[in-house]
Amino acid sequence: MKKTVFTGAATALITPMCENGSVNYRRLEQLVEEQIAGGIDALVICGTTGEKSTLRYDEHVKVIETAAKACEKRVPVIAGTGSNDTVYSVELCNDARDAGADAFLMVTPYYNKTSQTGLIAHYEYIADRVDRPIILYNVPSRTGMHIQPETYKELSKHPNIVATKEASGDLSLIAKIRYLCGDDLAVYSGNDDQTVPILSLGGLGVISVLSNFAPRVVHDLCTAYQTGNTKLAEEMQLKYLGLMNALFCDVNPVPVKEAMNLLGLSAGPCRLPLYPMSDDKKDFLVSKLKECNFL
């Protein structure tokens, strides 16, 4: 079995912004401390929730470096380094490594996309040129393409490709991945609302949005399942299900940043083209925060 990057709950951390839209690096350091104090098992930096798409290259690397320095190796720091440009992704991986990243999260190529054969070539090219473990990221709602189970099986043969973040929402697909890849590829849920179902299929944890302001909740949910208290894990999954869904009532990370600002956690705004929530969606989010006793 390949060495896993983490087991349990990882936070897909937001990138906090100042009101003028610049990155709030001081607040980022504080968020890392708050996450570790909350029991989180790993941190994902510069993913979708971290607004990777609107970070300039220098900002991207500095955000990773700031988080890694603040973390001080207490939990793994996983850097979002995926791209639809294969060579660019290698360059970003190497700079992220130098900035302190322990592993890479790599989304499938988007917009120009590729075939399944091209996907294998893309990931193997990168994996041959980096010296950190790679977590694949399958999120077809954003990229327009799936990683097929047979493609996963081929990619799982590479020693640097150790896991996937599965955000397809397709539990049958995930079951087939587990069947074909076994212990050669760890599976993490990419959706908070599917954490327990994926754990039940042998998944190792979740890369969570909810844990941006509830790290202890998500950590404890995973720990309950993994220590045999599946009933408690089920109860927690259902208790927070409405809030998990509310965090996706608008484009991520708009709702989670709104929730954090409402809770006094100073997330700041999102960068355009992401836009503030409408009043009706904000009211819905507030109702779910109150339902779960966060407000």
Q: Which of 52, 165, 257, 282 is catalytic?
A: 165
The average pLDDT across 76-98 equals 98
Closest to 60 measured CA to CA, from 34, 20, 94: 94
Cβ partners under 8 Å of residue 290, min gap 6? none
Does residue 52 surpass a pLDDT of 90? yes
CATH of range 8-230; options 3.20.20.70, 3.40.50.10420, 3.40.5.90, 3.30.540.10: 3.20.20.70
- Tell me, what's the pLDDT at 228? 98
Closest to 38 measured CA to CA, from 260, 213, 237, 258: 213
165 is annotated as an active-site residue: yes
- Tell me, what's the pLDDT at 2? 79
Percent of the chain with pLDDT over 70: 100
- When pLDDT is cut at 50, 70 and 90, the band that residue 3 belongs to is confident
d(CA 128, CA 203) in angstroms, rounded, equals 26
- Tell me, letter by letter, the H, E, C secondary structure of 84-134: CCHHHHHHHHHHHHHCCCCEEEEECCCCCCCCHHHHHHHHHHHHCCCCCCE
Burial (CB < 10 A; 0-12, 13-18, 19+), residue 50, is: buried
137 is annotated as an active-site residue: yes
- Tell me, what's the pLDDT at 249? 97
- When pLDDT is cut at 50, 70 and 90, the band that residue 174 belongs to is very high
Q: Which of 123, 137, 188, 240 is catalytic?
A: 137
Assigned token pair, 201: 């299929």
What Å distances lie between residue 110 and 7, 113, 213, 248, 253, CA to CA?
28, 5, 29, 21, 19
For all residues of the chain together, what is the average pLDDT? 97
- Tell me, what's the pLDDT at 1? 67
Whether pTM > 0.95 for this model: the answer is yes
What are the residue ranges spanned by the domains of the chain? Answer: 8-230
d(CA 204, CA 4) in angstroms, rounded, equals 9
Does residue 76 surpass a pLDDT of 80? yes
